[in-house]
Amino acid sequence: MEYYSPLGATYGLRADQFLETSADFDKYHAKLNRKLQNLRRRCNLTTRDTKRYSSKEKLSKFTSDEYDTKNKLLGTILLLHCERDLALVECLRLRARQRGALKRNERKVIGARLKKICNTSAKLLEVTQNETAWETRTEYLIIDKLCQVQLLADQTLSRLSSEPEKSMKIVQGLTLVFAALWHLQAEQKLDSKLVDAVIAQFEYLLKQHASANLYTHRELRAFVNSNLQHCMKDPLAQIIAEHGYKISDTNAPAYGEEKKLKSIQWRTFTAELRNPRVAEVVAEAQEQFPRDLSEFSDKIAKWQTALDYQQSLLQIEGESDYAAADEDDQIVLSFIRYSLLFTQVERDDVLFCKLWNQWCTAKNSLSVRLTKYREIERLVSNVCTYLQDIMDLPGVYSDDELMHSLNLATLYYKLHLAAGCLAPLFQSHQRYSESLALYVDSARKLEDATGKGMLQEGLPGDIITNDKLLLLQELITSGWKGVLALAEYEKSIATDSNNKNCRCLVEKLGKSIGPKDANTTKLFPLNPVVRPVGVKPTLFDLAFNYITYEENEQEPLHESEFTSQNAEAVTDVNTPSKKRGLFGLFGR
């Protein structure tokens, strides 16, 4: 049975739109405003008379009876009001993060908005208290808990001091939220991507206020189950307990325990995993196969946690000298670093593909292309740095086949930047020789790299394949073929001193041309100059015949009127004028 998902309409929509920057949340805020305007108009909630608005507005006067009998969209309107204010809060926080600190007015706005969000979510719970679909009611309760947690976290952060009572409330709220999310996921009511996105956003906040080492998924589940026993009087705990959630079944940390790795096999190396925590985190990281950008953060965090565990293990054992360390531990350490770096490369490759598609579609906008070029350049620099770090790892630089694949991958990204982005920019600025030089240099580098052999073994994530190399080769070939004739023509003009300053043949057309002007070595200008053309006065003269003025316009005269007017004119001419006296007083 399908049901309305409030989490899917808020946090799920955020994950789908991949909101990362303040500009993204600003656009999202504007979309929510338009959506709320349409919903308020549809539900007849628009108050046009703004005088004494608080007494005339209808939003705060909702009751549960109206929600049950009239329209379910009333709950959606309250939900989107919370989401709109949360989008504004996230936008201000991201701006402050870029700046380095919050302004005083921004801190006040964030605090006021979070209080307003909590009041709106409380009103939402009051209106939807008789909701028949328990899944929808559960998600409304989850959203209310998340709003309260964010307000408490902002209050503890603004006071710069730890408050045990508020930290305990934050831990209890997130405990209930995580348990409810896992239960909805187990009941196949929520998608795993949405659950992972919400947990990833608030997991660090739980670890910060819980004062516990919650590194693995098993430890997090065990902590949630142990704390959930003290929160069973909460409505959220009661509703999930009524629909199949049992704490006794989840006390045993069965998740991940059966999936521990005993050893790893990497390339030609095999090593035993001596630390059970490292084995558990590595097993969890290997089971994740992210495709979207938002899914890579959790996997990167897993590999980073495994790396920290392995490094701490070596330090505890007093094996700071890597040459004297145990061989298995060193193989495991190199494997974890290799996996961490390649996960970062895979994430950047997904972003690179998106930017490349945007670059290809922005052919007519120079400003957009310049912006995308800077983004691609920065991204290619990061990817090449990661690949170089992989090449420097022990066990990698001694593998000739792997080194060849990594060199091809580095060249693949660099040639996309040079031949795919920079050369077309030079060509659009009529610098054909520089564009041709970039194409020829890229073709030579790719030929030298593939002359040693094509890609024998694919890299993780298929960041580079033989098909991609062939597409890159076709791109370079078609590029230099399209600019070759223009570059040769530019060179011939630049080398001939006689043709350098003279006008081209196209510019001489329409004028008197003599035998000396018949020079085909300079047919057209490479940099055409657009000049204004003077308007001929005859055009205005012709148009003047069709101009009429309403004030002075006279109606056409009929033949009878014309003859009568002529007769009157003749009589006026024949009759002599009377002589009048001074001021008309003295006459003849």
Q: Rounded CA gap, 307 and 302, in Å? A: 9
Question: Which tokens go with 388?
Answer: 């170089």
Buried b (16+ CB within 10 A) or exposed e, 403-427: ebbbebbbbbbbbbbbbbbbbbbbb
Domain-embedded: residue 79? yes
C-alpha to C-alpha distance for 166 and 91, rounded to whole angstroms: 25
Of residues 250 and 404, more confidently modeled: 404
Buried-exposed string 93-118: b where 16+ CB fall within 10 A, e elsewhere = bbbbeeeeebeeebbeebeebbeebb
**What value, to the nearest 5°, has the Cα angle with vertex 345 and ends 343 and 346?**
65
Q: Which domain holds residue 34?
A: 6-48+55-256
Mean pLDDT rounded to a whole number for the chain: 80
In a domain, 68, yes or no: yes
Which element (helix H / strand E) includes 293?
A: none
- Name the band, by pLDDT with cuts 50, 70 and 90, for residue 155: confident
Confidence at residue 257, expressed as pLDDT on a 0 to 100 scale? 45
Q: Is residue 232 part of a domain?
A: yes
Read off the pTM.
0.59
The answer to whether residue 35 is domain-embedded is yes
The Cα–Cα gap between 463 and 461 comes to 5
- For 316-327, letters b (16+ CB in 10 Å) and e give eeeeeeeeeeee
pLDDT of residue 457: 75
User: Confidence band (pLDDT; 50, 70, 90) for 250?
Assistant: very low
Contact by Cβ (8 Å): 28, 14: yes
Does pLDDT of 502 surpass 70? no
CB atoms within 10 A of CB 154: 18
Query: Long-range contacts for 115-122 (Cβ within 8 Å, ≥24 apart)?
Result: 115/151, 116/85, 117/82, 117/85, 117/86, 117/89, 117/147, 117/150, 117/151, 118/147, 118/148, 118/151, 120/78, 120/81, 120/82, 120/85, 121/78, 121/82, 121/147, 121/148
Q: Output the CA–CA distances (angstroms, integers) from residue 544 to 62, 540, 547, 551, in the order listed.
A: 68, 6, 5, 17
42 pLDDT band, cuts 50/70/90, is: confident
| Joined tokens for residue 105 | 């007015």
- Note whether residue 337 is domain-resident: no
Mean pLDDT of 472-488: 84
Question: For the residues 83-101, what does the mean pLDDT come to?
Answer: 89
SS3 266: strand
| Residue 237 belongs to domain with CATH number | 1.10.3450.40
Q: What is the pLDDT of residue 324?
A: 42
Is there a domain that residue 92 lies in?
yes
State pLDDT tens for residues 290-303. 877 777 888 888 89
| 541, part of any domain | no
Rounded Cα distance, 251 and 139, in Å = 24
573 pLDDT band, cuts 50/70/90, is very low
Q: Is the pLDDT of residue 556 over 80?
A: no
Task: Specify which of 212-216, 364-368, 408-412 reaches the highest per-range mean pLDDT.
Answer: 408-412
pLDDT band at 164 (very low <50, low <70, confident <90, very high): confident
Provide DSSP, 332-387: HHHHHHHHHHHHHHHHHHHHHHHHHHHHHH-SS-HHHHHHHHHHHHHHHHHHHHHH
Per the structure, the count of domains in the chain is 1
Q: Return the pLDDT at 499.
A: 52
Say if 313 falls within a structural domain.
no
- Cα 146 from Cα 491, distance rounded (Å): 67
Q: What integer is the mean pLDDT of 61-73? A: 83
